[in-house]
Amino acid sequence: MTVERKDIPRQFAESFGRSPDVTTFAPGRVNLLGEHIDLHGGHVLPMALPFGICLAAASIRGGEDRIKSAQFEDIARHSCGAPKASHWSDYVAGALEAARAQGWLKGAAAIYCDSAIPVGAGLSSSAATIIATLKAFAPKGLPVTELAKLAQTVENQYIGVPCGIMDQMAIAAPAPGEILLLNCRSLDFTPLPLPQGWEVAVVHSGQHRELADGRYHQRVEETEAARQALKIQYLTDLAGRDPLPKLDSATLTRRVRHIASEQSRVLLAVDAIETASTESFGALMQQGHMSMARDFEASTPEIDQLVADAVTVGAYGARITGAGFGGCIVALLAKGKKHEWWQQLGKHHPSASLLY
């Protein structure tokens, strides 16, 4: 699925009878390694995707926002100052509320957006929507860290998802074609060029999930309970500790093991990128998937099989990406082999689709 950016002003005009004041774009993102550790001050390795959210916006009179998406027939109406409505437009509405609170937007807004990011795929459609909306009203020169933190606040406080900062930073500070090494504690980041000969593939499993459902919240609560029990500020500080501190709960022990080991994998993966070692990076992806499946219990049998088959037919490594519980896998391939690889993988997984 693609979105033609040049069509957005015309589609806005057809919806609202006037031209937009501004158009924006925010990419989706795929996370290569570093899952569920941004909340715990970890290092992560996301990569911006070439497709995302295109948005057009204009300030309008009155006390009611009007929000139109190419993916839905209706024009949503949001009263300024109103809480979320458990509606598809909540992410735009929450960003507009934040823009008003910052003094960037006086009154209401009309928004038209079109997305090439599948919802529930683990590619950050929610964060991209929020950032695309905020960018329409943010002052020029706003630091990307401030944009990302405000977008995180929208998701935490307005939407009610206790997410970390990785998605927002990867989208606010995209480095096209490069991997972003992000320190989620300091928000320092370094773009790392994708080594020559490497190619990344993103495959949707066909299983959708909602971040606002109970499983994601449960994992956040479990890791926070473990952090408090261990009296430590960041669980990622346990990376490299062997043995790990003991906890009374076997479940919490597994959650901590994932956080600590995932941080170690990211740091090793940086070396693999710098030395262009596909074998090392692929092995770390495999280990990361096993940890997500066994210790964090955030995979599914169908995705486990998709990951296994992805490697069988030629990937150096593959893993579930995003929060889990459905969505996409990411795989590392030799450059130029994606078409042949997907032909083989797609035969065995008719419900899956190659997104990138």
Q: What is the C-alpha separation between 153 and 84, in angstroms, rounded? A: 14
**Choosing from 38, 90, 114, 167, which is the catalytic residue?**
167
Domains of the chain: 5-193 (3.30.230.10), 198-354 (3.30.70.890)
Q: Is there a contact between 50 and 176 (Cβ–Cβ < 8 Å)?
A: yes
pLDDT tens column, 270-286:
999 999 999 999 999 99
First and final CA of the chain: distance in angstroms?
A: 10
- Binning pLDDT at 50, 70 and 90, where does residue 210 land? low
Instruction: Decide if pLDDT at 194 tops 60.
Output: yes
Q: What is the C-alpha separation between 178 and 45, in angstroms, rounded? A: 10
Positive or negative, the Cα torsion across 26, 306, 198, 262?
positive
Whether 271 is catalytic: no
Strand partners, 54: 25, 114
Note the pLDDT of residue 334: 98
| Token code pair at residue 24 | 């924006």
- Binning pLDDT at 50, 70 and 90, where does residue 208 land? confident
DSSP letter at 291?
I
Comparing 2-16, 100-114, 201-215, 216-230, the range with the smallest average pLDDT is: 201-215
Instruction: Decide if pLDDT at 212 tops 50.
Output: no
Work out the average pLDDT over 330-340.
98
Q: Which of 35, 321, 80 is nearest to 205 (CA)?
A: 321
pLDDT tens column, 53-78:
999 999 999 999 999 999 999 999 99
Angle at 143 (CA atoms; ends 137, 145), nearest 5 degrees: 105
| Token code pair at residue 98 | 């934040």
| Token code pair at residue 93 | 């509405």
Q: Is there a contact between 328 and 124 (Cβ–Cβ < 8 Å)?
A: no
pLDDT tens column, 287-304:
999 999 999 999 999 999
